[in-house]
Amino acid sequence: MSIPSSFVSRAVQATPPVLATRMRGLSDRAIAWLFIGPTMLLLLAINIFPLIWTIKLSFTNYRANRPNANVLDVGIDNYVSVLTDPDIWAAMQATAHFLFWTIALQTLIGFALAWLIDRKFRGHGFWTTMILIPMMLSPAVVGNFWAFLYQPQTGLFNYAVSFLTGVPASSFEMIGSVRLAPWAIVIVDTWMWTPYVMLICLAGLRSIPDYIYEAAEVDRASAWRQFWSITLPMVLPFIMLAVLFRGIENFKMFDMVNLLTSGGPGSATELASITLKREAFEKWRTGYSSAFAIILFVAVFGLANIYVKALNHVKNR
């Protein structure tokens, strides 16, 4: 698309002569820097500087609530403490359980829903909107109302399970049992975020040109064969993208779980982010929690990079 010459001439006329003279003296590179400079400065101030500062703090015994205390350099002690702390590993295991099952369930159900919605049956627009509702809610609201739904005496969830299975409603506690609580948070996250995965998969399904299926029909490929050979490979980059987004989001999951279980019972649902928050802003072990934050950052950043490489590989096939 070319810019109309009248537009250019109007812009030239509108530029004050002093500015025009100054700009004329600048190279393209300098003008480019002029434009991206403020953004770069902002990024440095709100992203890079805090990161560097956190790295610096992670090698000290600094506590933000003790401004008058001596700050000592402790070398890699904080990192050693984090990596040898059984409570941290318990939190990492809880996080891994949460990550694996939420991603697996959301991908499976999200893709299945997208596939169904893509059939374009009567009223599919209405059902798409209905399915998207949980995703639009605030995690704080979701955490609070699922706490009521899981209530063993009055909660709808327990009654639904009781109705379907015959197990007495007050005989099990979804958020009070060490065995069930990790599944309780998986169920809530899956309920909330499956629509998001569905939307991405739906975009993928609708990007497949119809002529490919028509050609497959001509070749008398079965529906199953079409699914394995056309649908799945072409949607795979979209599914992988959804997995990446959900993985990063759930690795730092805090609000919903904190409101639903506060990390309990005991520490059964204490995810890494809840542990990090307790260390940083309740116990005020700033140096220690900085080290933990850096370890988490490196883990997410490293895994995400490997994953993006795999995603690009799939896309370029």
246 binds another protein (CB under 8 A): no
Task: Report the residue number, 113 or 175, with the smaller CB distance to another protein.
Answer: 175
Closest contact distance (angstroms) between CB of 76 and another protein is: 17
Q: Which residue has the tokens 């639009």?
A: 136
278 binds another protein (CB under 8 A): yes
Distance CA 157, CA 176 (A): 14
Number of residues that bind another protein (CB under 8 A): 31
Residues 6+ apart with CB under 8 A from 252: 273, 296, 300
**Contacts with another protein, 176-195, as mask; x by CB under 8 A:** x-x-----------------
Among 264, 300, 303, 307, binds another protein (CB under 8 A): 264
Q: Which residue has the tokens 């056309």?
A: 230
Distance CA 317, CA 312 (A): 9
* CA-wise closest residue to 259 among 194, 196, 192, 199: 192
Task: Report the residue number, 134 or 265, with the smaller CB distance to another protein.
Answer: 265
Which token pair is 35? 């434009």
Distance of CA 78 to the CA centre of its chain: 27
134 binds another protein (CB under 8 A): no
Among 6, 13, 153, 165, binds another protein (CB under 8 A): 153
Task: Report the residue number, 219 or 282, with the smaller CB distance to another protein.
Answer: 282
Select from 6-14, 148-156, 234-242, 249-257 the region that touches another protein (CB under 8 A).
148-156
Among 21, 207, 262, 312, binds another protein (CB under 8 A): 262
Task: Report the residue number, 84 or 153, with the smaller CB distance to another protein.
Answer: 153
84 binds another protein (CB under 8 A): no
Closest contact distance (angstroms) between CB of 268 and another protein is: 6
151 binds another protein (CB under 8 A): yes
Residues of the shown chain interacting with another protein in the complex, contacts defined by CB under 8 A:
61, 64-68, 87, 151-153, 155, 170, 173, 175-176, 178, 258, 261-268, 278, 281-285
